[in-house]
């Protein structure tokens, strides 16, 4: 009785790829074959598999270095932000009256955070005109910037002309983007407005952790200082 011929299997690209995945050391002793393999390049010329692997590793290394550089820069920025925040908090705690408190805020915003324009609005409370702070009737403020007052968190982006004029007065024309921060104790007691001459400086998607932190501190200290006036 004759032997049954052996069953043959056709090779496909997927079959070869799967086999190589299970045998990653296949080319370890076949360097001549590895160097003969050719791959198309973006320029149209063919390159060896080794050259292609070296190129991929070089690109990956460049990408990793770029990511590391971005992480380091972010760490440096956070360090500066933390240090400036620490100095501001200490200055606010050392303030003995409303004037010292407001001066500390304005000096820090201008010196440490490079704020170009800023205003502090105190709602429905007697507040002397100190620096960039002023007292505003709550109804007047609501008529001009009601939507900004209703926000529970800082609002960043481009303001309407009427909102910008109300907040920044004579300096409104120079403000192309702004961050509006509600100052609250139990209720809304005021607003901190910070403006910049670049339209993309303050954006709706930007992080506002520092602004919320500053708002929490001012929201607790301002009522105490106002009671002493």
Amino acid 164: pLDDT? 95
Task: Kindly report, residue by residue over 41-64, the tens digit of the pLDDT.
Answer: 555 555 556 666 677 788 888 888
Pick the CATH number of 97-228 from 1.10.10.10, 3.20.20.20, 3.30.450.40, 2.60.320.10: 3.30.450.40
DSSP class per residue in the chain: -PPPPPPP----HHHHHHHHHH-TTGGGG-HHHHHH-EEE-TTS-EEEHHHHHHHHHHHHHHHHHHHHHHHHHHHHHHHHHHHHHHHHHHHHHH--SHHHHHHHHHHHHHHTS--SEEEEEEESS----BTTEEEE-HHHHHHHHHHHHT-SS-EEEPPPHHHHHHHHGGGGGG-SEEEEEEEESSSEEEEEEEEESSTTTS-TTS--HHHHHHHHHHHHHHHHHHHH-
**Domain ranges across the chain:** 28-94, 97-228
pLDDT along the chain (229 residues), means of 10: 53 86 79 66 56 75 88 85 89 90 89 86 79 88 92 92 93 93 88 93 87 90 82
Amino acid 34: pLDDT? 65
Amino acid 145: pLDDT? 94
């Amino acid at each position: 009785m004759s032997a049954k011929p052996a069953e043959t299997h056709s090779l496909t690209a997927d079959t070869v790829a799967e086999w190589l995945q299970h045998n990653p050391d296949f080319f370890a002793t076949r360097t001549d074959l590895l160097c003969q393999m050719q791959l198309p390049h973006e320029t149209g010329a063919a390159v060896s598999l080794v050259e292609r692997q070296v190129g991929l590793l070089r690109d990956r290394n460049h990408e990793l270095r770029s990511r590391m550089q971005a992480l380091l820069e972010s760490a440096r920025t956070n360090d500066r932000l933390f240090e400036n925040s620490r100095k501001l908090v200490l200055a606010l705690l050392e303030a003995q009256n409303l004037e010292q408190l407001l001066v500390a805020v304005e000096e820090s915003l201008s010196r440490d955070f490079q704020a170009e324009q800023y205003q502090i609005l105190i709602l429905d409370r007697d507040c002397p005109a100190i620096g960039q702070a002023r007292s505003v009737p709550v109804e007047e403020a609501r008529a001009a910037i009601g939507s900004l007052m209703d926000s529970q968190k800082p609002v960043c982006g481009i303001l309407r002309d009427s909102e910008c004029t109300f907040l920044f007065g004579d300096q409104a024309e120079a403000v192309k983007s702004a961050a509006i921060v509600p100052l609250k104790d139990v209720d809304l007691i005021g607003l901190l407005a910070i403006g910049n001459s670049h339209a993309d400086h303050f954006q709706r998607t930007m992080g506002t952790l520092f602004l919320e932190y500053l708002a929490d501190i001012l929201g607790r200290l301002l009522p105490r200082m106002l009671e002493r006036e």
